[in-house]
Structures are given as C-alpha cells and as structure tokens.
Amino acid sequence: MTTIAPVAFRRTVELTIDGRAVTAREGATVLEACRAAGVEIPTLCYLETLTPVNVCRVCVVEVEGGRALVPACSRPVAAGMVVRTDSDRVRTSRRMVLELLASSVDLSTAAGDVHRWIGEYGARPERHGPSAPAAPTRPHAGHHAEPEVGSAATVVQPVKRDNNLYVRDYAKCILCYKCVEACGEDAQNTFAIAVAGRGFDAHISTELDVALPESACVYCGNCIGVCPTGALMFVTEHDLRATGDWDEDRQAVTRTVCPYCGVGCNLEVHVQDDRIVKVTSPLDHDVTSGNLCVKGRFGFAYVEASG
C-alpha cells in the first residue's frame, strides 16, 4: 500500500535581491529567499523552529519604497519586491546593533558567526569605553548604577546556579527571546520564563524571579537548545569551560535515539574524552524539531554509572 501525505502546492513570486532576479515560494520570508539565493543575512533572534519575534534587528534589509528597514526574518516576499541586503544604510544599522550588544554583553561563548559579523560590519564596541565594573550584588540584568562617563553600561551579573543540570549566565544574554519562545508556545508550553522589566532593565526572569526549583521549570532544557550565546549551558559544559578543559576539537557528536519512551527522539551525543558532555537534538528532524524532555536531554548519567 502506498499512502502519501497531502502535499501543498504553492505559487511562486519574482523579486530582486541585490540586483539579481530571484524566484521564491509565495509566503516565504525575505530571509528564506535570501538564503535560497545564497545571500547571507546575519540573525540572532531567528530560528527556523520558532516564531519570529523581530527583536534583534540584525537581519534588517532595505526594501525599495519602504520608509524603514525591515526585518528579513519575518517580512514575506512580494511580487516585484526590490531588496538590498548590503547597502550603507543596512550595514550601518547592523553595525550599530552588533556594537551595542558587544559593548554591554559578554559574547565570549557566542556562536562563531557573531564574532565574524562584528569584524565584517566594522563594529567597534571598545569605543564606548571600558565596561563598567561589575557589581556582584545586582540580582539581575539592568540593576545597574548609571555608569561613569566614558565607561560602557553592561548586563554583567553573577551566574545563576540553582540546580545540578544547567546554569544561567545572564551576563551573556542578548535578550533574543528564543528561550522564552521555546519554553512557551513554540515548543514546551510550560511558560516558566518571560522577559521582565523595560529598556536596559529588561531581563529573562522566572515568575517573581524565584530560583528554578521553585519555578514552573520542568528542566526540558529546550531553552539551552536555542540559546545563541551560551548564557544557558549544561553544568558539564560550564564546569569544563571554567577549568579550561572544554575543547570542541576533541569532541565527537554522534546521532542516536533516546533510550526512554517510544516517541523516538533523535539525540546528538557530544562526547569528549569518552565522557558525555552535552546532549542536543537535531533541529531539522521533524520528530523533535530540536526539542527534548528532561530524561532525553539530561538522563544519561547511567551510561557512565554502568562503567
């Protein structure tokens, strides 16, 4: 018996990207059209599996006839659209976003692309002056005294380590909202975290800012899976980094299937020196879309206990 799921046939539209004629699927975003055409658009808050929230503004492009720059991640293509991804206006805007983030946030564990973009767009975070000194008593991002003239305000704060599975280092948080989306409607629907505060005081918080074990968190770690800067990290990775032993060149990633229930979630097992240091799930596998539960993501200690 051959049974095939219904396939949705879609129409296409013609548009111009950086002077090139391009065909895109109707309903696709400008970002998707650019990627299909081999044009790189930097993104921070965007992920294929999440609803675009348009907060980071680093993916902006210029659309002819438009007043403001538009976020490529959520603007749908339209017939006859003329898009410029590398105009001065676009480059200036991206440089400003990257520069402000890099001056206020610790990007030391952010994805390599972020550092490449900082270089490519000529962002110079250092011109805002040295980072204002840390104030360890600040409970969360934004509880900052006005920095002295000539120094850069930062979101620096102590690492939150309130459970044995993962740490939250919000000094590295760029407020991309991905963790909030993954904890909420886009995947887990637990709603343990949200953005609290406004402006520079905005920060990721549990309800009433309680510690994770007192919150609604169920430790699925789907927030870690989407975090682009390493603000959310396995305890294993955090501790190996702290001692200088984290070494991705010595790591192998193997894809297998979760040992627990019968859903068949794919695991990517990250192993360094015969030890499991992290578990992720492939974004492009439609069983998990990158998500796991607490057992699948963290329940691997028994493998070592058996040794």
Partner 1 sequence: MFGAGGGTSSYREIEETDLVVLWGSNAREAHPIFFHHLLKGLRRGARLFAVDPRRSPSAQWADAWLGIDVGSDIALANAVGNEIIRSGLVNTEFIRRATTGFEEYAAAIAPCTLEEGERLTGVPAALIAELAHEYARAPRAQLCWTLGITEHHTATDNVLALCNLALLTGHVGRYGSGLVPLRGQNNVQGGGDMGALPNKFPGFQDVEDDAVRARFDARWGVRVPPRRGWHLSQMFEAMEKGELRALYVLGENPAQSEADTKRAVRLLEGLEHLVVQDIFLTRTAQLADVVLPAAVAAFETEGTVTSSERRVQRLRPALPPPGEARDDLSILADLSEKLGARWDRPSAEEVWDECRALSPMHAGMRYDRLEALGGIQWPCPSEDHPGTVFLHGRLWDEDPERRGSPAPFSPVEYEPPLDGLSEEFPVRLTTGRRLDSFNTGVQTGSYASPLRRPETIDLCPEDLERLGVGEGELVRVSSRRGAITVPVRLDRSLRPGLAFMTMHFPDQADTNVLTLDSWDPKSGTAEFKATAIRIDPLPAAGDSLLAGTLERAG
Residues that bind partner 1 in the complex, under the rule CB under 8 A: 1-6, 163-165, 185, 187-189, 212-213, 218-220, 252, 254-267, 269, 271, 274, 276, 285-289, 291-296, 298-303, 305-307
Min dist CB 260 to partner 1, Å, is: 5
Contact 69, 30 (CB under 8 A): no
Report the residue number, 91 or 285, with the smaller CB distance to partner 1. Answer: 285
Q: Judge contact between 193 and 186, C-beta under 8 A.
A: no
Shortest separation between residue 299's beta carbon and partner 1, angstroms: 5
Kindly state the tokens that stand for 273: 């020196």
Name the minimum Å distance from CB 236 to partner 1: 11
**Nearer of residues 134 and 211 to partner 1, judged by Cβ:** 211
Q: Are 93 and 60 in contact (CB under 8 A)?
A: yes
The nearest distance, CB 85 to partner 1, in angstroms, is 32
CB-nearer residue toward partner 1: 158 or 299: 299
- Give me Rg for the CA atoms of the chain: 21
Instruction: Please name the residues in contact with 12: beta carbons below 8 A apart, sequence gap of 6 or more.
Output: 23, 24, 25, 26
DSSP track, 152-194: B-------B--SSSEEE-GGG-----HHHHHHTTTTT----EE
- What is the separation, in whole angstroms, between the first and last Cα of the chain? 46
In this complex, which beta carbon is closest to partner 1, that of residue 155 or of residue 187? 187
Rank residues 5 and 21 by Cβ distance to partner 1 and give the closer one. 5
Which CB sits closer to partner 1, 54 or 163?
A: 163
C-beta atoms surrounding 182 within 10 Å: 28
Tell the smallest beta-carbon distance from residue 190 to partner 1 (Å): 10
Q: CB-based burial of residue 283 (10 Å sphere; 0-12 exposed, 13-18 middle, 19+ buried)?
A: middle
CB-hemisphere CA count at 13 Å for 175? Answer: 27
Q: How, if at all, do strands 82-84 and 12-17 pair?
A: parallel
Nearer to partner 1 by C-beta: 145 or 218? Answer: 218
CB 212 within 8 A of CB 206: yes
Shortest reach from residue 245's CB to partner 1, in Å: 18
User: How far apart are CB 254 and partner 1 at their closest, in Å?
Assistant: 4
